[in-house]
Structure formats: C-alpha cells, structure tokens
Amino acid sequence: MVAARADGRKDTTVLGRAVAPTQRTPDPRTPRDCYGAPMIEFNDFTRVDMRVGRIVEALPFPEARNPSYRLQIDFGPEIGERVSAAQLTVTYPNPVALVGRQVVAVVNFPPRRIAGLASEVLLLGAMGEGDDAGEVWLLEPNPGSPLGARIG
C-alpha cells in the first residue's frame, strides 16, 4: 500500500509499518517449500555454475573480520585457479588439512570483496546449527572427480 505523507512524499507500508522504498518485502503469494524457503524455477537453478575444484593452498586470513582462510582452488584448465575467502576455522582448525581436498564451488558469482581480497568463488558446505553453530563441512564430490566437472 502506498500512502501520502504530510510533506507530499510517498511511503511504502507493509501491514501498517513504513518500509523504505528500496526495501523488498517478501510477497506472501510466493510459493514456499516445507521449510519456508521461497520456491525457485528450474531455470534459476540451471544458471548457477557449480564446479569441482581442488584446494592447492590454504593460508590464514587475519585481515578478515571473522576468522577465515584464503584459499587457492584449481578448477582445471577451462577455469583455472581461483581465490576464495572462507570461514572454515572452527571445523578445520589446521589450514594444511584443507590442501589437496576436492570441493564444490559456485564459479559464476561476481567477485566479493572481503578485507581487500576479491573472493572469486563460493565454496559450498553444510552449515551447523545449535551445538554445531559456526561449523561448516565442505561438500566433497566422489574421489577422483575431474577438476572443473559441472555439478547439476
């Protein structure tokens, strides 16, 4: 609902509460899954480019606000090596243990600046809740999966 204010500008209100015009409120008509997450179309999923990579270097990243590692990940000859900042220090306290591990990552998001580093890919992992909050277990493909193999 759009309402006029005394000064002539318009306010967007949701359930009687004013919201900044740039904020997006969830559409109550959007179909949701059994957990409350919005449903997406299959075409949305196919746009996400997930690939198999291998961590070739893992270093502490003290410049990040939250404890993190700076990872160098090889995705094979088509994509090459990419950098990622990842908050994995709770589950993987020794970064050396990450080197050589195969992982799954999204490779077609724009780079995201984290403490001055352009993080180029997003590693995928299962996130802990409750007693396991803060832990992230990396998703791993079957051993021997070719680097750069598409997930889908």
What residue ranges do the domains of the chain occupy?
Answer: 49-145
Amino acid type, 109: F
Check pLDDT > 60 for residue 9.
Answer: no
Local structure of 100: helix, strand or coil: coil
Q: What is the pLDDT of residues 15-54, one digit of tens each?
A: 445 545 555 666 667 777 677 788 888 999 999 999 999 9
CB 78 within 8 A of CB 61: no
> Could you say which architecture CATH assigns to the domain 49-145?
Beta Barrel (2.40)
Summary mean pLDDT of the chain:
86
Amino acid type, 115: A
- Angle (CA) 7-10-16 rounded to 5° is 110
Amino acid type, 63: E
Residue 150: count of CB within 10 angstroms of its CB: 10
